[in-house]
Amino acid sequence: MADSELPLVVGIGGTIGGVSSTERALRIALDAACQQGFRTRMFGGADMARLPLYDPKATTRTPEEREFVETVRQASALIIASPGYHGSISGVVKNALDLLEETARDAARPYLADMPVGLIATAYGWQATGSTIAALRSIVHALRGWPTPFAAAINSQIVKFDEEGGASDPAVVEQLMLVGRQVARFAPLAATAATP
């Protein structure tokens, strides 16, 4: 099978303004899905920063907005990674997720219906990791998706990521890979469910 025909896992996450531990964590999880036979596409901090604030009443969409929505429409699974900002998900990640409202009236698959969605949260301490994962799970449920069982909660105060896809704690790498593998495990069911 050509690479372009492989089922797609889309990653949404990271922060803007430079090196992002959240984005590096997401990349590890996406690479694990890739090892299971998926192609991946990441919308990181720089991509999300190009999305305008979501206006539900807008009559046109920017090329970046259209590309984001179309790519999610093609996905068999998602992985969402957010930093904990003041105890919940960041505005940048939430703005990207708000844009998925554009799929509300899709006949084949409204929102994230029946899609597995892996979740990752980073925070500078443990407390916001838990509340951010809980917020992400609520959002995925609202979008009719299926949060996969294991979510990775990462304390960026004690774990450091490198450019090569590693981290100072190998257990964290293993947890992120588990997120990618669980998403890959259930993605084939999602593809079937999304078929009208």
Minimum distance, C-beta of residue 156 to ligand FMN, in the bound complex (Å): 3
Tell me: does residue 172 bind ligand FMN (CB under 6 A): no
Residues 6+ apart with CB under 8 A from 176: 25, 28, 29, 32, 120, 152, 154
Minimum distance, C-beta of residue 28 to ligand FMN, in the bound complex (Å): 13
Site string for ligand FMN, 66-105 (x = CB under 6 A): -----------------xxxxx------------------
Stretch that binds ligand FMN, among 18-26, 51-59, 144-152, 171-179 (CB under 6 A): 18-26
Q: CB nearer to ligand FMN: give 66 or 126.
A: 126
Minimum distance, C-beta of residue 129 to ligand FMN, in the bound complex (Å): 7
Tell me: does residue 22 bind ligand FMN (CB under 6 A): yes
From residue 132, how far is each of 78, 109, 149, 153, 155 by CA, in Å? 17, 26, 15, 9, 12
Distance CA 73, CA 8 (A): 10
Tell me the site size for ligand FMN, rule CB under 6 A: 17
Q: CB nearer to ligand FMN: give 30 or 187.
A: 30
* Residue 91, number of CB atoms within 10 A of its CB: 14
Tell me: does residue 180 bind ligand FMN (CB under 6 A): no
Distance CA 97, CA 80 (A): 9
Stretch that binds ligand FMN, among 19-27, 62-70, 137-145, 177-185 (CB under 6 A): 19-27
Q: 133-171 b/e with 16+ CB inside 10 Å = b? A: bbbbeebbeebebbbbeebbbbbbeebebeeeeebeeee
Q: How far apart are the first and last CA of the chain?
A: 24
What part of residues 119-158 is at the interface with ligand FMN (CB under 6 A)? 122-125, 128, 156
